[in-house]
């Protein structure tokens, strides 16, 4: 069963949603003093799957490393790049971009303007 933060037949103003940030752990920091935060909008399981989560995630200016989960996201605001470490390839992000990340992918996120995205993890 999926639990939703928003009620059926209502909307959520994602740009106005308050997101509390925490410092990125030192082991993940690549440049600057970035912070991240997220708000879960829905989570649960359907059809015996491992679970789904829908939410809003933000990162402040700076760079951090990460290992990704299976995810699809839409950039709502900001500007950043994602370096796919094992592919030595960089993807530029801007508002409106739709991105799919594969589980286990090693990345380095470099944020030039505070980034906000709507994500769905599987």
Over residues 43-78, the pLDDT tens digits come to 887 666 668 999 999 999 999 999 999 999 999 999
Give the residue-averaged pLDDT of 100-121. 98
What is the percent of the chain with per-residue pLDDT over 70, rounded to a whole number?
A: 94
DSSP-derived secondary structure letter, 28: G
Q: Assess contact for 24 and 36: CB atoms under 8 A.
A: yes
What CATH class is the domain 18-121?
mainly beta
pTM, rounded to two decimals: 0.91
Residues found in the chain = 122
- Domain ranges within the chain, ordered by starting residue: 18-121
Distances (CA, A) of 38 to 9, 47, 49, 85, 86: 23, 26, 23, 24, 26
Residue 119 pLDDT grade (very low, low, confident, very high; cuts 50, 70, 90): very high
Distance CA 90, CA 33 (A): 21
Q: Is the pLDDT of residue 87 over 70?
A: yes
pLDDT of residue 3: 74
Nearest 5°: phi and psi at 28? Answer: -100, -15
């Amino acid at each position: 069963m999926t639990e939703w933060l928003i009620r059926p037949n209502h909307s959520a103003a994602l740009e106005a949603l308050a997101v509390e940030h925490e410092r990125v752990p030192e082991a993940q920091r690549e440049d600057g003093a970035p912070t991240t935060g997220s708000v879960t909008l829905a989570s649960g399981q359907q059809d015996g799957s491992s679970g789904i989560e829908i939410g809003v995630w933000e990162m402040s200016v700076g760079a951090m490393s990460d290992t990704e989960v299976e995810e699809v996201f839409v950039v709502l605001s900001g500007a950043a790049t994602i370096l796919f470490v094992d592919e030595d390839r960089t993807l530029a992000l801007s508002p409106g971009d739709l991105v799919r990340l594969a589980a286990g992918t090693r990345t380095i996120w470099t944020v030039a303007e505070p980034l906000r995205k709507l994500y769905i993890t599987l």
